[in-house]
Amino acid sequence: MIVIAIIALIVAIALPSFQRTREDAEDRAMEAEMSSIYKAMVEYAAVNEGRLPTSYEELRPFIEVPNFEEKYEINPNPLEQ
């Protein structure tokens, strides 16, 4: 019975730490993806005389985020809603 109590105590201590670590990793991944999107926009502007993209379709060739379309809901032209 004491062994079970000790295991429960260890789990109770470790679980919040594990969840926090997982959330931090997800945050870092999202920040990296946002950085990639920013870099894609800067590259697009450099190629297109400083003009920023008006739709995702224009930006698509510059984005280097794996599975981007699968991870996020994409509205190809947000100005036409």
Is 21 within the bounds of a domain?
A: no
> Count of CB atoms within 10 A of residue 36's CB?
16
Is 52 within the bounds of a domain?
A: yes
What's the pLDDT at 12? 86
Cα–Cα distance, 77 to 45 (Å, whole number): 18
For 19-74, the pLDDT digits (tens) are 899 999 999 988 988 898 899 999 999 999 999 888 777 888 888 777 777 777 77
List the beta strands (DSSP E) in the chain: none
Predicted TM-score (pTM) of the model is 0.62
Is 59 within the bounds of a domain?
A: yes
Is 33 within the bounds of a domain?
A: yes
Domain that residue 74 falls in: 29-81
**How many domains are contained in the chain?**
1
Is 51 within the bounds of a domain?
A: yes
